[in-house]
Amino acid sequence: MVLIIAVVIVVIACISLISNKNTFVFYSSEVERLKSEVNTAKAKYLAVQKKAIGLAGMATKNESTQYQNIKTAGGTISSDQLLYLGQQFPDLKDKFAQAASLSEKMYTDYRNAQSELNNAITRYNRVISMFPKSISAYILGYVKEDLIDQENLENSKVLDVDNEINFDEFLS
């Protein structure tokens, strides 16, 4: 009789472990999918930024020294800065407006993807932390994921170069 009870307990534990494994796989797959979406959104945003900075550099290459730092800029350029340049260079106003609009959309998509990822990570962490699933998670090697924090979000949107754009000097 004790042997039958032990076998039933082992079977129930195995079924529970398999069921929990499926749950963990579901949530961890969602996190991995959203990480990929964040990387894609970031790449699109940075590509738009690179083209916008190139447009700013092209527009200002023959201009006075107040615009020279734009030509070699490596940071990000805001929509307001692009619209400002559109006012300074009327022949390129439409291009700067398009760049500003696209940059704003890509940035919004990027931030939304990051937010979705943080939500998925929170759900995953909650599932693997709740008893009795936390025991299965430990046995199966599932560990908590770190959320994307705001400081890293801000650092991750900047192109990896030394120069920053400083528009303060020509906004007066």
Q: Which two tokens stand for residue 118?
A: 């943080």
More confident residue, 71 or 54: 54
Highest mean pLDDT among 26-35, 76-85, 144-153: 26-35
* CA max distance for the chain: 93
Q: Give the mean model confidence (pLDDT) for residues 29-37.
A: 92
Q: Which residue has the higher pLDDT, 92 or 157?
A: 92
Q: Name the residue type at position 161.
A: V
pLDDT tens-digit readout, 55-97: 777 776 665 545 555 444 446 777 777 788 788 778 878 888 8
The pLDDT value recorded for residue 159 is 47
- pTM more than 0.75: no
Mean pLDDT of 40-51: 86
What number is the average pLDDT over the span 2-31? 87
pLDDT confidence of residue 156: 55
Least confident of 64-68, 106-110, 111-115, 121-125: 64-68
Alpha-helix residue ranges (DSSP H) falling in the chain: 2-60, 68-71, 79-88, 93-129, 133-140, 150-156
Q: Which residue has the higher pLDDT, 170 or 106?
A: 106
CA distance 157 to 114: 11
- pLDDT for residue 166: 47
Looking at residue 157, what is its pLDDT? 52
Q: What is the spatial distance between Cα 35 and Cα 17, in angstroms, rounded to a whole number?
A: 26
Position 134 scores a pLDDT of: 85
| pLDDT in the model for residue 150 | 53
What rounded mean pLDDT belongs to the chain?
78
pLDDT band at 33 (very low <50, low <70, confident <90, very high): very high
